[in-house]
Amino acid sequence: MQLNVCSSQQHSLPLPEEESSNNMASKILLSLALFAAACSSIALASDPSPLQDFCVADKENPVKVNGFVCKDPMHVNANDFFASGLQTPGDIKKDVGSAVTTVNVDNLPGLNTLGISMVRIDFVPQGINPPHTHPRATEILTLLEGTLLVGFVSSNQDGNRLFSKVLYKGDVFVFPEGMVHFQHNVGYENAVAIAALSSQNAGVITIANTVFGSKPDIPIDILAKAFRTHAHIIAAIQAKF
């Protein structure tokens, strides 16, 4: 996260009139150097690095924080850093033709505070991982088997440009944080991908489910205007979610 306070604020440096020009110049240079150092520190601000070797999630602790409270390190063992199951294909959802198997802090407590997680994605032919976004993470995907069409759409500010590529075995593609993205198995065989995400709990917002499946429903007239279509079409789509 960058805070552009340095470029948006102007600071005057009042100096006594009786000081010599050399002293004035020295004080100005010193003040500018200190201010530049402070601005550099602010501009590089981000989530702090862990202050201990690990912070295994204590899910039984009633205290709520941004993440999980640390388990007593003396009660930590190797199983806290271990998970299995990614060798097994997930249960394919028939409506989209894909399955996502997630390894994050919810099932691997040792990920707490480490800023990383991963998923396995299985696809049947023509299966999709529908357009979605991860609000807290960048994703980097490696295709292990099959052929995938992947892509993401940039923000309104960038003109909603589509960046898309067909991936083959061993190819890698990255989806920037917060961008709406998708995958589609365009091959004739099943496809398998592994993706890493830059958060212990990246979150996922599937666009169709969010817009048409909210509880309670978003008013139909709002969606009809947003999608530039008729209300009965929106109602029919909402009925599917």
Task: Give the residue numbers of the binding site for oxalate.
Answer: 129, 134, 139
Rg (CA), the chain: 25
The DSSP 8-state label assigned to residue 36 in this structure reads H
Q: Which residues are annotated as a binding site for Mn(2+)?
A: 132, 134, 139, 181
Residue 20: phi and psi, rounded to 5, are -70, 160
User: In sequence order, what are the residues at sequence separation of 6 or more whose Cβ sits closer than 8 angstroms to the Cβ of residue 66?
Assistant: none
State the sign of the Cα–Cα–Cα–Cα dihedral 58, 62, 67, 70: negative
CB 94 within 8 A of CB 101: no
- Structure-token match 């899910």, residue found: 59
User: In sequence order, what are the residues at sequence separation of 6 or more whose Cβ sits closer than 8 angstroms to the Cβ of residue 183?
Assistant: 98, 121, 123, 128, 129, 141, 148, 149, 150, 193
Q: Which residues are annotated as a binding site?
A: 129, 132, 134, 139, 181
* Torsion (CA) 134, 138, 144, 147 in degrees, nearest 10: 70
